[in-house]
Amino acid sequence: MKLARNILLVDDEASWLRTLAITLQRFVPDADIDTCVDSRQVQNRLSVGDYALVLLDLTMPFHSGEELLAMIRSDFPNTRVIIVTGVNEVDTAVRCIKKGAYDYFIKTDNVEGLAHTVRRALEVVGLERNYLHIKERFLSRTLANPKAFNNILTCEPQLLDQFRYLEAVAFSSEPLLICGESGTGKTEFAKSCHHLCNPDAPFIGLNLNGLSSEAFEQKLFGQLYHHSNGEIDAVTGLLHQVGKGVLYLSEISALSLNAQAKLLELIESKQYSPLGSDTYYPVKCKFVLSTQEDLLKRHQAGTFRSDLLYRIRAHKIKLPSLADRPLDITMLINHFIALAAEELQLPPPIQPTDLAAKLANYAFPGNLHELKGMVFDAVSRSDGLALNTSAFMEAINEHKSLNQTPQDNIIFPKVLPTLAQMNQALMDEAMSRTANNQTAAAQILGISQSALSRRLKGH
């Protein structure tokens, strides 16, 4: 169910309808406004189009506004109604409100108050529909559009829940914030959101790292350059290019405070003006933002605005690290093996059955990026039959050595091990440090490779 921002204006005065439509479009640029001069067509128009809001006159031929109000509230409960009429009677206004009208306005030349109420009504309808949609999707426990997530491999329940949540909120006009460590799949989730809400429109991404406030404005808004000879050069901004698509702003925490203020104003007003221009254009794209930083801590440190923080996390997805996805490791390794074999033009080796168990306690600080690199390295070293696991063991040992504090003295347990146990422990450690290279392990232990081989075989 797409969250509509469509408005239907119903009045038998054609000139007033045109004036009201033009004025509202200026104040509410992100809305799609239709008009209807014949009250007999209202029910059919509502049946065909998904209108969030109807602005309704009271005194019209064929059907009065009060009749239509009762019909709309009965047959189209998810559509709100605002009465806009020349009837300035308190009793009539009270009666309409009791029948379910969202608000009651007298026709005047000043429509700023009406425009403000229209915006508020659209927000209310959006929240109501979004809540119902989320409830419906979660109760169903199924995905209506599973193809949108074809780029994300998982069987973890916590990620599957995030799929359902994203499917429920993708159509919302509110921004979506995706949080997670580097390499957890934030960009892929943003692309899934695009596939869900408007796959035929553009998907444009912008990394905000190192971007100044001035560069941020120019990239988003575009710029007009006025030359002394009267000619004008234009640089098209991303907001114009993306249209009704998805604008993905990654690393939102890197945005300067000045640029944060610009972004907040953009999200609130839903309109923008290119630099060097006085003309304003509506913003109709979906904002998806991502961060690997804790924005609340950034706010407490004074580097992130609280008003922007609470505005962009209306819908929030927190992606787990790869270490928190143990059920996915085997499947992901096989996926990366297939990719590596195709890219390197090698036969795909078989993953050892115990590899996932060996990686169970590894933290994967680089998440999916690190696992992909490990697999590509392992495939390049393999003989075409079994996957060479040296790349995995080397990476684990490198991180282990970085995180461990070197010690000059051996610390023994309370109960001393036997000499046989110590010998076995020394050989295991030497083999682990050398990625199972017997020659190198023998050098560390100060014995010959043949002697180490016999001891490993138990002779």
User: 0.95 cut: is pTM over it?
Assistant: no
For residue 409, pLDDT over 80 is answered with no
Read off the tokens for 230. Answer: 């009267």
Report the alpha-carbon distance of residue 272 to residue 284 in Å, rounded.
11
Buried residues in 52-77 as b, exposed as e (16+ CB within 10 A): bbbbbbbebeebebbebbeebeeebe
Q: Which of 173, 82, 184 is nearest to 126 (CA)?
A: 173
pLDDT of amino acid 2: 43
Report the alpha-carbon distance of residue 450 to residue 70 in Å, rounded.
93
Residue 308: partners with Cβ closer than 8 Å, 6 or more residues away:
260, 261, 263, 264
Q: Give residue 349's pLDDT band: very low, low, confident or very high (50, 70, 90).
A: very high
For residue 3, pLDDT over 60 is answered with no
> Which range is most confident: 110-119, 187-196, 404-413?
187-196
pLDDT tens digit string along 58-69? 889 899 999 999
Report the alpha-carbon distance of residue 331 to residue 370 in Å, rounded.
15
**Higher confidence at residue 130 or residue 102?**
102
**Residue 143: how many CA atoms within 13 Å on its side-chain side?**
18
pLDDT tens digit string along 75-121? 998 899 999 988 888 888 899 999 899 889 888 766 778 888 888 88
Average per-residue pLDDT for the chain: 87
**Three-state DSSP state, 453:** helix
Report the alpha-carbon distance of residue 372 to residue 25 in Å, rounded.
49
Q: Give residue 384's pLDDT band: very low, low, confident or very high (50, 70, 90).
A: confident
pLDDT of amino acid 428: 84
DSSP 149: G
Read off the tokens for 80. Answer: 């709100």
Read off the tokens for 356. Answer: 């996932």
pLDDT tens digit string along 424-440? 888 888 888 887 888 88
Task: Give the mean model confidence (pLDDT) for residues 204-222.
Answer: 94
Q: In the chain, what percentage of residues exceed pLDDT 70?
A: 93
Task: Give the mean model confidence (pLDDT) for residues 328-332.
Answer: 93
Q: In the chain, what percentage of residues exceed pLDDT 90?
A: 46
Q: Give residue 212's pLDDT band: very low, low, confident or very high (50, 70, 90).
A: very high
Positive/negative CA dihedral, 124, 125, 130, 135: positive
For residue 377, which phi and psi values (nearest 5 degrees)?
A: -65, -40
pLDDT of amino acid 403: 60
pLDDT tens digit string along 20-39? 888 888 888 878 899 999 99
Report the alpha-carbon distance of residue 154 to residue 319 in Å, rounded.
12
Task: Give the mean model confidence (pLDDT) for residues 33-51.
Answer: 90
DSSP 134: H
